[in-house]
Structure 1
Amino acid sequence: MRLNLKFLLISLCVTVALITFALWANCGVGHGLVPKWPQHHGDGDNPFEQTEEIDCIINQEYAIGCRKEGEEVYLPFSFLQKYFDVYGSLNVVDGSRRFDWTHSYGKVNYPKGAYDPRGIFMYFENYNVEMRDRVKCISAIDGVPISTQWESQGYFYATQIAQFGLSHYSKNLTEPEPRRKTVEDGEREMATWIVPKGSSMNRTIDRTRPVAGAVLSFSTGKSFDTAVVLPMDHVLDLVLSIDVLLKPNSTICVTLQNRETQKLYHVYYILADLLIGVQDENIYYGIGLNSTGAWKHLTRDLFVDLQKGLPQYASTDKRRKMRRTELKVVEISLLGNGSIDNLTLSTSEHISHFYDAAEWLIRHQDPSTGGWPIPVRRKLGSGFGELGRGWYSAMAQGHAISLLARAYYHSKGDKRYLRAALDGLKLFRIPSYQGGVLATFLGKYAWYEEYPTTPHSFVLNGFIYSLLGLYDLNSTAPANQSNEAA
Structure 2
Amino acid sequence: IPASSQWQPDGHLYPIQIAQYGLSHWSRLELNSKNQQNKIYKFERIQPKENNHCSSWHTVKDEIFLSNTYIHFTISSNSSLHFHFFNNNIELIYSTKTVHDLETSTKKIILLKGSPRQVNRYMLVDIEKLMRKTLFFRRDFVKIQICGDTQSSADQLIIGNQTLYDQQAFYSATRWLLNNQDLQTGCWFIHVQRNYGHHTHYHVRDPWCSAMAQGQAASLLVRLYSLTNNNEHLLAIRRAIQPLWSSNLTRAYFNNRFVWLEEYPLESTTKGLFVLNGCLYAFIGLIDANTLDYQPYLSELINQIIISLQHILPYYVHPNISNWSLYDLSHITMKSKINTASYSYHLVHITLLQCLRQIFKKTNHSVSQLFDFYVQRFTSAIL
What band does the TM-score fall into relative to the shorter chain? Answer: 0.5 to 0.7
Q: What does residue 112 of structure 1 align with?
A: none
Q: What does residue 380 of structure 1 align with?
A: 196
Q: What does residue 414 of structure 1 align with?
A: 230
Summarize deviations over 1:336-392 as a string: whole Å, max 9, x none.
212512523235643332222222222222333322222423232234513265322
Q: What does residue 39 of structure 2 align with?
A: 181
TM-fit CA distance, 1:170: 1.8
In structure 2, runs of 5+ residues without a counterpart are: 300-383
TM-fit CA distance, 1:302: 0.7
1:148-159 equivalences in 2 (<5 Å):
148-159=5-16
Question: Quick one: distance in 2 between partners of 1:181 and 1:297?
Answer: 22
TM-fit CA distance, 1:462: 0.9
Contact 2:88 2:140 in 1 (8 A): no
In structure 1, runs of 5+ residues without a counterpart are: 1-143, 187-215, 311-318
Contact 1:178 1:347 in 2 (8 A): no
Summarize deviations over 1:109-130 as a string: whole Å, max 9, x none.
xxxxxxxxxxxxxxxxxxxxxx
The yes-or-no answer on 1:162 pairing with 2:19 is: yes
TM-fit CA distance, 1:160: 1.7
Larger Rg: 1
Question: Quick one: distance in 1 between partners of 2:233 and 2:109?
Answer: 32
1:129-278 equivalences in 2 (<5 Å):
144-175=1-32, 177-184=35-42, 186=44, 216=45, 218-220=47-49, 226-232=54-60, 233-236=62-65, 238-246=68-76, 248-257=77-86, 262-271=87-96
Q: What does residue 334 of structure 1 align with?
A: 146
Contact 1:182 1:342 in 2 (8 A): no
TM-fit CA distance, 1:404: 0.9
Summarize deviations over 1:66-121 as a string: whole Å, max 9, x none.
xxxxxxxxxxxxxxxxxxxxxxxxxxxxxxxxxxxxxxxxxxxxxxxxxxxxxxxx
Contact 1:422 1:484 in 2 (8 A): no
User: AA paired with 2:251?
Assistant: L
User: AA paired with 2:204?
Assistant: L
TM-fit CA distance, 1:401: 0.8
Query: Among 126, 135, 143, which residue is 1:305 paired with?
Result: 126
Question: Quick one: distance in 2 between partners of 1:279 and 1:218?
Answer: 26
User: AA paired with 2:210?
Assistant: S
Question: Quick one: distance in 2 between partners of 1:179 and 1:145?
Answer: 25
In the superposition, relative to structure 1, how do residues 231 and 415 fare at CA in structure 2: closer, same or farther (>3 Å)?
same
Q: What does residue 401 of structure 1 align with?
A: 218
Question: Quick one: distance in 1 between partners of 2:196 and 2:135?
Answer: 35
Contact 1:370 1:423 in 2 (8 A): yes
Summarize deviations over 1:424-451 as a string: whole Å, max 9, x none.
123224655xxx2122232233221111
The yes-or-no answer on 1:469 pairing with 2:304 is: no
Summarize deviations over 1:163-188 as a string: whole Å, max 9, x none.
222122223323452524343354xx
Contact 1:239 1:299 in 2 (8 A): no
Across the aligned residues of Structure 1 and Structure 2, the Cα RMSD in angstroms comes to 3.1
1:108-119 equivalences in 2 (<5 Å):
none
Contact 2:71 2:119 in 1 (8 A): yes
Query: Among 263, 266, 269, which residue is 1:450 paired with?
Result: 263
Under a length normalisation based on structure 2, what TM-score does the superposition of the two structures give? 0.65
In the superposition, relative to structure 1, how do residues 375 and 265 fare at CA in structure 2: closer, same or farther (>3 Å)?
farther
Query: Among 356, 368, 372, which residue is 2:184 paired with?
Result: 368
Contact 1:398 1:468 in 2 (8 A): yes
Q: Tell me the SS of whatever aligns to 1:167.
A: helix
In the superposition, relative to structure 1, how do residues 428 and 222 fare at CA in structure 2: closer, same or farther (>3 Å)?
farther
Summarize deviations over 1:305-342 as a string: whole Å, max 9, x none.
223455xxxxxxxx42457x625351121222125125
Q: What does residue 253 of structure 2 align with?
A: 440
State percent identity of aligned pairs.
Answer: 26
Name the structure with the higher helix share: 2
Q: Tell me the SS of whatever aligns to 1:149.
A: coil
Contact 1:273 1:288 in 2 (8 A): no
Question: Quick one: distance in 2 between partners of 1:447 and 1:173?
Answer: 31
Summarize deviations over 1:49-74 as a string: whole Å, max 9, x none.
xxxxxxxxxxxxxxxxxxxxxxxxxx
